[in-house]
Structure 1
Amino acid sequence: MEQIIAQANNLYIATLGWLEANLLTVDSAIQLGIITMLFLFSFAVSARLSPFFHKAFEQRAFYQKTEKFWKALYLPLIWWLAVFTAWQVAASLGNPIILLRMATSLISVWVVISLVTLMIESEAISKLIRVVIWALALLNIFGLLQSFIGFLGATTFTIGGNALSLLGIITGVTSMIVLIWAALFVSKFVETKLKEAPNVTPSARVLLSKISRIVLVVLAFIFAISSMGIDLTALAVFGGAIGVGLGFGLQKVVSNFISGVILLLDKSIKPGDVIEISGTYGRINKLAARYTSVISRDGREHLVPNEDIITQPVVNWTFSDKKVRRHLPVSVSYNCDIEKAMEVMLNAATDSSRVIKNPEPKVLIKGFGDNGIDLELRMWIRDSENGVSNIASEVYLDIWHKFNDAGIEFPYPQRDIHIVSAKGLKEKEDIL
């Protein structure tokens, strides 16, 4: 501990000495004024440059995709160019240049941070990268980076027989973050390429995407742990103990994950299929690690656990064939022309653009009911993802209009009352 305090004190004294010798001078004040004026100049130029480029290149697809990227770089690039030019001019004239050189380095760091953070979606990771890069840049400019690295390397801990330094821990954590981010970036790139592959089935795309992501993340984690100097054998034993504990606590999560892998392997469902489960009818939008996203006809997105799809009955309307048959029961009056009614129902089905011609629609007599003749229209559609109830409603409405035009009546409940004896009524009439 005393050694750590002594190193920190030496670092503090060195910092104060550098500041007093290099910054607290008249030459430094002049350079600071030049840097400030160049910033104001760069700000004014970038404010005019951005609308100019937007107007000149707004119709080009490349600029539309990278406009956000260029807007973030206008100011730092112009400022860097101006300060770098001032640095070179001052150096050629033999004037002090330490602040100009420092400003050029710091602005270069700004440009690098802008480039890196624009490619990262996570705001938290972007902030962490900004802090780390700025800290390292400042230490390097002040000439304190090597002393700081030595301080981190000298601060060690012993964990399970392994000597770990602060430098090793920071290096390992940084490597893990960078490698995992790179693994996720590569897996996303692989997923995009798989979506563009015409010969790969939707289930295979999802499965390959998941496998590539898991493998890349695991490799990144192992490499980062190795860079920290941790024995992977000891980690395997420790990880096994943790795995047993997590296995009980995360049983449902693991079950849903394994169920998702099984669904992808047996190809029972895939993105784009129309399914029905536990009263939920809709199109599969996404197969995730824990759940399956099903979008219903009313726009609601149902997140069905993968385990439920494995253990519960599922109706896949498009599993082996996209064709779906619909049954439309219709009753007609006993007084109508039954053959004419069947012909009208067939015409109503064939007039619909969604009803396919092969297999052709059919009308069957299902029975003779109490109030009318029971008929059934059977028709096939190929686009069940667009709804099955709406096509039934459309055909029913057309049948209604065609029946009215043809004079075909729909039955309604009828009851015939037969009076066996009128003696009681006659006696009541005499009393009145």
Structure 2
Amino acid sequence: MEQLNPEMVDAAQGLWSNVATFFKLLLLPTRRSQLIAVLGLVALSWLLARGLSPLLTGWLRSRENWPKWRLRLGLLVDRRLTLIVFALLSWAVVLVMREVTWPSRSQVIALAANIATAWVAIFFLARVIANRFLRRIVSWAAWIWVTIDLLDLTDSVSEVLDGVAISFGDFRLSALTVLKAVAITGLMIAGARLLSQLISARLARNEDISPTMRVLTTKLLQVVLFSLAVIVGLKAVGFDLTGLAVFSGAVGVGLGFGLQKVVSNLVSGVIILLDRSIKPGDVISLGDTFGWIEELGARYVSVVTRDGKEYLIPNEDLVTGQVVNWSHSNDFVRLDIKFGASYDNDPHKVSRIAIEAAMGVGRVIASRKPVCWVTGFGDNSVDYVLRFWIGDATGGLTNVRGLVYLALWDAFKENDISIPFPQREVRLLNDSLPVSATAPPPADGQPDA
């Protein structure tokens, strides 16, 4: 059997000795009463939280026009109400006891108050991390580390974790180094995300910057901040990143072949942001999809249609395909409506009435006067096309066409202009054949049943 590392054995024995000494001191008669008091404060805090929680929830529900962050903060307080009440009661007891007796008589209660306060602070600070799984890992790691530090066991635990290590030549990787890397890198990423959100919010309020430049600046800022967070976090715990250069190059070549579409979409997204061909809020048509640009992502563009469907269109399709941007250079859009009128109606009168009807629709631009032209003499009617302009394609196209059609219908009814339907004439080529309005007899000569 392989022998254990002597240094690791000594570190584990030292940790066990420190833990045993701590519990021996905790069970001394002078501190036993404080331990009982801490347990009593825990029970009292639980009872008070059970009574205060419904009151706090009802009060939050009655708050109208409150920002979402305040309501979320109130819900977080409700989730950790027992721990918050325990911390407040513990500090109150400690302050009172330090005024009336020796500080050593409240040392255990003060230790419990410090641990509870640190746990509450970590719980609220960890909300900065958006990823739920990562937030739980960071929270638990921080709670354990703070508890060990306040119990004065940091050196002993560090020695044990540092003894659990694997070596590759001159490279040594210990459990302590891994934990430090995860903790520092997680905090750096959380800080980078918070800073990115603050800067993005400032950019969103700046009207002098175009929407595409805001998105591009935000994406570049996120890449730079998160890259720096990872690099600084790994360097802070002593990782040598120079050896990763060759490895990352080889991995990059392999990923380049395997993720061609992904890379193409990423590059296409940067091109879209740079040439400003589309931007958030634009109305576009791509194939059968007609909608509004909701968000420009790194890999796709989110397009929301009139019926509430959200299409995630790859950036490459927008760069290489034909896209109709209804609001690229300006917001003016011309629409055509085709209709027919009877040959008995004067075409000049029909055109004039159609133009007046279109101008009566609110969304039709009056400064760009509609026009109506005769396009042909059909089999059943004179064919016309009515052309008009709108300046708000974001309001929809089908609905404004429908309003113009209704206006034409009303105007034609008032002026006795008829919209003919298809008509057909049937002629007999041989007039000598008899024509009977009754049905012929059955083939077998028998009457019908």
- Same fold, TM exceeding 0.5? yes
Matched, 1:79 2:82: no
Matched, 1:414 2:417: no
C-alpha distance in structure 2 between counterparts of 1:270 and 1:427, whole Å:
71
C-alpha distance in structure 1 between counterparts of 2:65 and 2:342, whole Å:
67
Structure 1 residue runs of 5 or longer lacking an equivalent are none
Q: How does 1:228-247 map to 2 (within 5 A)?
A: 228-247=237-256
Q: How does 1:59-70 map to 2 (within 5 A)?
A: 61=66, 66-68=73-75, 70=77
Matched, 1:32 2:41: no
More deviation, 270-279/79-88:
79-88
> What do the CA deviations read for 1:342-377 (whole angstroms, capped 9, x no partner)?
122112211111111121111111111121111110
Maintained 8 Å contact 2:333/2:391: yes
* SS of aligned partner of 2:278: coil
The offset of 1:206, in angstroms, is 0.6
**One-letter amino acid of the counterpart of residue 107, structure 1:** A
Matched, 1:14 2:14: no
**One-letter amino acid of the counterpart of residue 101, structure 2:** L
Maintained 8 Å contact 1:157/1:164: yes
Matched positions, count = 426
The offset of 1:146, in angstroms, is 1.2
C-alpha distance in structure 2 between counterparts of 1:324 and 1:6, whole Å:
81
More deviation, 193-202/109-118:
109-118
The offset of 1:264, in angstroms, is 0.5
Maintained 8 Å contact 1:283/1:294: yes
Matched, 1:308 2:354: no
**One-letter amino acid of the counterpart of residue 35, structure 2:** L
Q: How does 1:22-421 map to 2 (within 5 A)?
A: 22-43=25-46, 47-48=51-52, 51=55, 54=59, 58=63, 61=66, 66-68=73-75, 70-71=77-78, 75-91=82-98, 92-94=100-102, 96-159=105-168, 161-416=170-425
The offset of 1:211, in angstroms, is 0.3
**One-letter amino acid of the counterpart of residue 139, structure 2:** R
C-alpha distance in structure 2 between counterparts of 1:38 and 1:170, whole Å:
33
C-alpha distance in structure 1 between counterparts of 2:237 and 2:88, whole Å:
40
**One-letter amino acid of the counterpart of residue 15, structure 1:** V
The offset of 1:319, in angstroms, is 0.8
C-alpha distance in structure 1 between counterparts of 2:321 and 2:86, whole Å:
64
The structure-2 alpha-carbon separation of the partners of 1:358 and 1:213, relative to structure 1 and needing over 3 Å to count, comes to: same
Maintained 8 Å contact 1:275/1:316: yes
The structure-2 alpha-carbon separation of the partners of 1:427 and 1:252, relative to structure 1 and needing over 3 Å to count, comes to: closer
> What do the CA deviations read for 1:159-218 (whole angstroms, capped 9, x no partner)?
464333332222122111111121122112221111111111111011000000001111
More deviation, 255-264/94-103:
94-103
C-alpha distance in structure 2 between counterparts of 1:415 and 1:59, whole Å:
68
The structure-2 alpha-carbon separation of the partners of 1:145 and 1:58, relative to structure 1 and needing over 3 Å to count, comes to: same
C-alpha distance in structure 2 between counterparts of 1:322 and 1:282, whole Å:
15
C-alpha distance in structure 2 between counterparts of 1:148 and 1:203, whole Å:
51
C-alpha distance in structure 1 between counterparts of 2:169 and 2:372, whole Å:
80
RMSD: 2.8
C-alpha distance in structure 2 between counterparts of 1:279 and 1:168, whole Å:
55
> What do the CA deviations read for 1:57-93 (whole angstroms, capped 9, x no partner)?
9468576574335545655444323322333444552
More deviation, 82-91/371-380:
82-91
The structure-2 alpha-carbon separation of the partners of 1:308 and 1:426, relative to structure 1 and needing over 3 Å to count, comes to: closer
